């Protein structure tokens, strides 16, 4: 695999992910946990953000102090619906990030993603992008989202999820070998309906209580 694939196995993330996976976890708890995990994911995926220094005055002395270098803020693009849960968490840590939305749903038979919405900042070509979605199953949605975002020509793209299936991850990496992927777990496999095993079920339905 040419891609940089990072499994973020921080104990707090792993513990919270286990709580999310449990079938008895309520919608309220699921939503809270996804938000909490997203803060921790944001911390990890922004680890390599470049810094510059600015001359500031503390109450005691002057100093050259570090600040984020990019002139243009990050764009977080949430794949709807479930990516909204990660976006909400990440915005707490990076409140000045700009936001994009891509609406995709998987056709349940073909597992082909259908796009129903797309809106990103007009100057995305001058910004770095994080695409967020809790689930990378067949990889079709992630592949389509990255393809769509690449057409807007951002400075860089990273893909951030919670769970990936090995088959889907391999598929994604074969199509987009240049995109770094961050996930909290690589699970065992996909079932015949395209669900991640053991997974956590349907992330959108669990987040929004639609089933
Ligand atoms: O890797 P894939 O096989 O494409 O599956 C992953 C996609 O499936 C889920 O969305 P879903 O289609 O259920 O839409 P929803 O978020 O509106 O429920 C999930 O949030 C991903 O976007
Ligand atoms: O297991 C899966 C697969 C796709 N989408 C989900 O929400 N869950
Ligand atoms: Mg769904």
User: What's the average model confidence in pLDDT over 22-31?
Assistant: 98
Burial tier of 110 (Cβ tally within 10 Å: 0-12, 13-18, 19+): exposed
- The confidence score (pLDDT) of residue 159 equals 98
Statement: residue 10 has pLDDT above 90 = yes
Ligand 1 pocket test, pick from 107, 141, 201 with the greatest ligand atom count within 8 Å of Cβ, gives 141
Q: How far is the CA of 202 from the centre of ligand 3 (A)?
A: 5
Instruction: Write the class of the CATH domain 5-208.
Output: alpha beta
Closest CA to ligand 2's atom 5: 202
Q: How far is the CA of 102 from the centre of ligand 1 (A)?
A: 12
For residue 198, name the pLDDT band (cuts at 50, 70, 90). very high
CB distance 144 to ligand 1 below 6 Å: no
Do residues 141 and 164 make contact, with C-beta atoms less than 8 angstroms apart? no
Rounded to 10 degrees, the C-alpha dihedral 7/131/78/48 comes to 70
- List, for residues 66-95, the tens digit of each pLDDT value: 999 978 889 999 999 999 999 999 999 999
Q: How far is the CA of 66 from the centre of ligand 1 (A)?
A: 39
- The confidence score (pLDDT) of residue 98 equals 97
Statement: residue 2 has pLDDT above 80 = no
77 to each of 9, 27, 66, 117, 127, how far by Cα in Å? 23, 23, 27, 12, 12
E strand map for 155-195: 156-160, 163-164, 180-183, 185-186, 189-190
Q: Is 23 annotated as a binding residue?
A: no
- List, for residues 146-194, the tens digit of each pLDDT value: 999 999 999 999 999 999 999 999 999 999 999 999 999 999 999 999 9
- The confidence score (pLDDT) of residue 3 equals 81
Domain ranges of the chain: 5-208
Q: Is the dihedral of CA 166, 90, 50, 153 positive or negative?
A: positive
- The confidence score (pLDDT) of residue 70 equals 79
| ipTM score of complex | 0.97
Closest CA to ligand 2's atom 3: 195
Which residues have beta carbons under 5 A from ligand 3 (an ion)?
202, 204
- List, for residues 80-133, the tens digit of each pLDDT value: 999 999 999 999 999 999 999 999 999 989 999 999 999 999 999 999 999 999
Closest CA to ligand 2's atom 6: 202
Q: Is 203 annotated as a binding residue?
A: yes
């Amino acid at each position: 695999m040419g891609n940089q694939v990072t499994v973020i196995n921080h104990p707090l993330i792993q513990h919270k992910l286990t709580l999310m996976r449990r079938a008895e976890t309520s919608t309220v708890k699921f939503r809270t946990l996804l938000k909490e995990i997203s803060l921790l994911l944001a911390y990890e995926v922004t680890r390599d953000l470049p810094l510059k220094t600015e001359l500031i005055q503390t109450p005691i002395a002057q100093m050259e102090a570090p600040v984020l270098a990019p002139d243009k803020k990050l764009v977080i693009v949430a794949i709807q619906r479930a990516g909204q849960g990660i976006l909400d968490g990440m915005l707490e840590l990076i409140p000045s990030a700009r936001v994009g939305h891509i609406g995709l749903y998987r056709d349940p038979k073909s597992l082909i993603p259908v796009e129903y919405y797309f809106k990103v900042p007009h100057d995305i070509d001058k910004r770095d992008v994080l695409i967020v979605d809790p689930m990378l199953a067949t990889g079709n949605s992630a592949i389509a989202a990255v393809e769509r975002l690449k057409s807007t020509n951002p400075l860089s793209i990273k893909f951030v999820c919670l769970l990936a299936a090995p088959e889907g991850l391999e598929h994604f990496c074969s199509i987009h070998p240049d995109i770094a992927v961050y996930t909290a777990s690589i699970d065992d496999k996909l079932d015949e309906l395209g669900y991640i095993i053991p997974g956590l079920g349907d992330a959108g339905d669990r987040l929004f209580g639609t089933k």
